[in-house]
Amino acid sequence: MNKKILFVFALSSLVGIYYLNTTNSASNSITINLKPTKVWWNDSVLAYGKLLDSDGLPIQGAAVSVKIDNQLKCSSETNSSGDYNCSFNAPNELGSYTVTSEAEGAVATATLEVKASYGEKPIGTIDRIVYEVPLLIQEMSGRIRRVFARIMVWKA
């Protein structure tokens, strides 16, 4: 949609009238955030964000879909502030996934890491020995993968 804005100014004896043409983008915008962004397989993930129109105003009552690899994981409806949220379970295979949020022609993406966690890392300068042991694990999908377990021994 094109708008014409009228500017009138006066400076000493100089007077002018100018028209400024502006064009509004017809596109809406959406954001997506994931909590957490690094998970074990099948862990619960919260997707949340905001949907705004081309003027930056919130869009209420819009249907939002959250997908991984074009498969619907959850859906929600925006509230009066344009906010949405929904929860889904992480995929059953380790890897990096692009999570897509779509509504009213707007699209946003975020990255979800599904990986094994080995706990906290030690901090400080302590004498230690680290053993790396290869193991086979079976993912919930049935797929068998080789991983490396790190076993750390501290000496006092």
Which tokens hold the place of 118?
Answer: 């080995």
SS3 call for 140 = coil
Domains of the chain, first to last: 29-114 (2.60.40.1930)
Question: CB–CB of 115/41 below 8 Å?
Answer: no
- Residue 143 amino acid letter: R
pTM of the prediction?
0.63
Distance CA 28, CA 48 (A): 17
pLDDT of residue 74: 97
- Cα angle 87, 82, 97 (rounded to 5 degrees) comes to 35
Mention every residue, 6+ apart, whose C-beta is less than 8 A from residue 52: 28, 29, 30, 58, 59, 82
- Per-residue pLDDT, averaged over 72-98, amounts to 95
Token digits of residue 94:
């380790």
Strand residue runs (E) in the chain? 2-11, 14-23, 29-30, 33-35, 38-39, 44-52, 63-68, 71-77, 83-89, 95-103, 106-114, 127-138, 144-155
134-155 confidence digits (pLDDT tens): 888 888 888 888 888 877 776 6
For residue 45, which amino acid is it? V
156 pLDDT band (50/70/90 cuts)?
A: low
Q: What is the DSSP letter of 120?
A: P
Upper half-sphere CA count for residue 27 (Cβ side, 13 Å): 6
Report pLDDT digits (tens) over 4-46.
444 444 444 444 444 333 333 469 999 999 999 998 888 999 9
